[in-house]
């Protein structure tokens, strides 16, 4: 079974990506499926040529390492949110 994902991107970037994929003998769908598979399997993503990988949702803001304090902040925040809904 397949599913469709719709997202917005710059039209020029889309054209460049389609051309690059075509030049490589691939479809943009194959490229995106490969990206999503890698993202799920490795639970990380890289941005730009720096190849900096973010392994947790706070790494973008706090660096690659997550501390006990970070975990406590997230836990207490989620507890508060959940309590507000119950």
Alpha-carbon distance of 77 to 79, in angstroms, equals 5
Q: What is the pTM of this model?
A: 0.52
What digits encode the pLDDT tens for the residues 27-67? 999 999 999 998 898 888 776 655 455 555 555 555 556 66
Largest Cα–Cα distance in the chain? 54
Token pair belonging to 11: 């039209």
| Contact by Cβ (8 Å): 41, 53 | no
Residue 80, pLDDT > 80, answer no
Please choose, from the candidates 39, 25, 26, 36, the residue with its C-alpha nearest in 3D space to the C-alpha of residue 2.
Answer: 36
Alpha-carbon distance of 26 to 22, in angstroms, equals 5
**Domain range list for the chain:** 9-42, 54-86
């Amino acid at each position: 079974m397949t599913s469709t994902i719709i997202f917005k991107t710059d039209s020029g970037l889309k054209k460049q990506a389609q051309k690059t994929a075509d030049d490589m003998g691939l479809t943009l769908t194959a490229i995106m499926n490969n990206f999503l598979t890698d993202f799920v399997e490795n639970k990380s993503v890289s941005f730009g040529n720096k190849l900096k990988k973010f392994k947790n949702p706070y790494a973008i803001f706090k660096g690659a390492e997550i501390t006990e304090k970070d975990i406590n902040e997230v836990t207490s925040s989620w507890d508060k949110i959940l309590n507000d809904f119950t």
